[in-house]
Amino acid sequence: MFPLIIINRKKLIDNIENVLKMSRENNIPYITFVVKAFSGNEEILSIINSTSLKSIGDSRIENLKKFQSLPIEKMLLRIPMLSEVRDVIKYADISLNSELPVIEALNAEAKAQNKIHDILIMFDLGDLREGLYYKSDYLPFIKKVLSLQNINIKGIGTNLTCYGGLIPDEIILNRLVQIKNKIENGFSIKLDIISGGNSSSVTLFNQNIIPKEINHLRLGESILFGKETSYSKEIKGLNHDVFLFQAEIIECKTKPSFPDGTITINSFGEVPQIEDKGMITRLILAIGKQDVILENLVPIDENLSILGGSSDHLILESKNNKYKVGNIVTFKINYPALVHLMNSNYVKKDFQ
């Protein structure tokens, strides 16, 4: 049945182990594998159990709830909502936090569940997503959190590149190290985890510029696609084709390339920008914008190119005549496409 996303188990396992090895070689012993792209699909459990992973992370507590059978750490990556505090304590071993009211609520719930809950306090080093701003007076915040009996500050962390596109470098990461030193010296405590970001920090591997205090990264795309995310470059020694996507042709006809009449906005409120190429062979596939951003698909056959589409249709131009109705077209995908396709109930998932 189609549409279908194919996940190569062996290549994914190889990437996991190789990234863990690369991280250790760069003096980062602690890696959390970010699994949010799988949308809680429980097929990932057997893959993780086949590796030496010690930690997984997801942005949604609903997904971590499905992974309770895994005998490894489960980290909630998105700072918690007040409305989900009970489930955070129940299903997450550790969570990322930046708001005192939420941490206080976590403390109360942890007490009710007779648990000590670990947290990473997030610091914004300039990318301007979540976290206490690094130039702010954050020590009073830390003091209040340290007074909470059922909360343990396991460490501190930051997120880079995802919103503001801030590239990690020695200067940026040393801001986190300075925060670490200020907290440890100010309160006579030891922070176990200094989390230096995500797959964008992998670009610093093998350059001897990652501060030695950074001992943890939260990695998704570098494992899944074998790419660092600062410059979107492929990492040597990793698989870059763990995922393939397939969709079925439902129409194959020779038609004009340009609409015949007055053009207005399309179904997504956009004015189509369509090139007049004369008569062309057009393929319609049974996949659409409801399932994926079409521009994030790349046909493996170089004779095919994406023209556009609508909610439920993808339209391709074919420069040869080998395709017919019922044929399957295979695509390479990127990380955003994986996230969308795995979240679509209309796309079949095949772990091979």
- 345: domain CATH number? 2.40.30
Q: Domain total for the chain?
A: 2
- Three-state DSSP class for residue 201: helix
Same domain, 216 and 298: no
pLDDT tens figures, 241-281: 999 999 999 999 999 988 888 888 887 888 778 888 999 99
- Dig out the tokens for 233 from the structure: 């470059």
Share of the chain above pLDDT 70, in %: 100
**236, part of any domain:** no
Same domain, 154 and 262: no
- Dig out the tokens for 45 from the structure: 């459990």
Mean pLDDT on 118-138: 98
Same domain, 195 and 258: no
Contact 152, 116 (CB under 8 A): yes
**3, part of any domain:** no
pLDDT of residue 12: 98
Mean pLDDT on 15-40: 98
Mean pLDDT on 3-17: 98
Computed over every residue of the chain, the mean pLDDT equals: 96
CA dist., res. 237 & res. 245, Å (int): 23
Q: How confident is the model at residue 50 (pLDDT cuts 50, 70, 90)?
A: very high
Same domain, 63 and 195: yes
Same domain, 254 and 330: yes
Out of 36, 74, 154, 227, pick the active-site residue: 36
Q: Among this protein's residues, is 36 annotated catalytic?
A: yes
Same domain, 101 and 139: yes
pLDDT tens figures, 317-352: 999 989 999 999 999 999 999 999 999 999 999 999
Range of the domain at 154: 9-224
Contact 224, 338 (CB under 8 A): yes
Is pLDDT larger for residue 53 or for residue 320? 53
Q: What are phi and psi of 160, to 5 degrees?
A: -130, 150
Query: In which element (H, E) is residue 106 found?
Result: helix 100-112
pLDDT of residue 209: 94
Query: In which element (H, E) is residue 109 found?
Result: helix 100-112
pLDDT of residue 266: 83
Domain CATH code at residue 74: 3.20.20.10
Q: How confident is the model at residue 183 (pLDDT cuts 50, 70, 90)?
A: very high
Same domain, 13 and 124: yes
Cβ within 8 Å of residue 196, ≥6 positions away:
28, 157, 158, 168, 173, 176, 210, 211, 214, 216, 217
Distance from the Cα of residue 159 to its chain's centroid: 12
Same domain, 117 and 196: yes
Distance from the Cα of residue 347 to its chain's centroid: 19
Beta strands in 278-327 (DSSP E): 279-285, 297-299, 304-309, 314-318
Q: Is the pTM of this model over 0.85?
A: yes
pLDDT tens figures, 192-204: 999 999 999 999 9
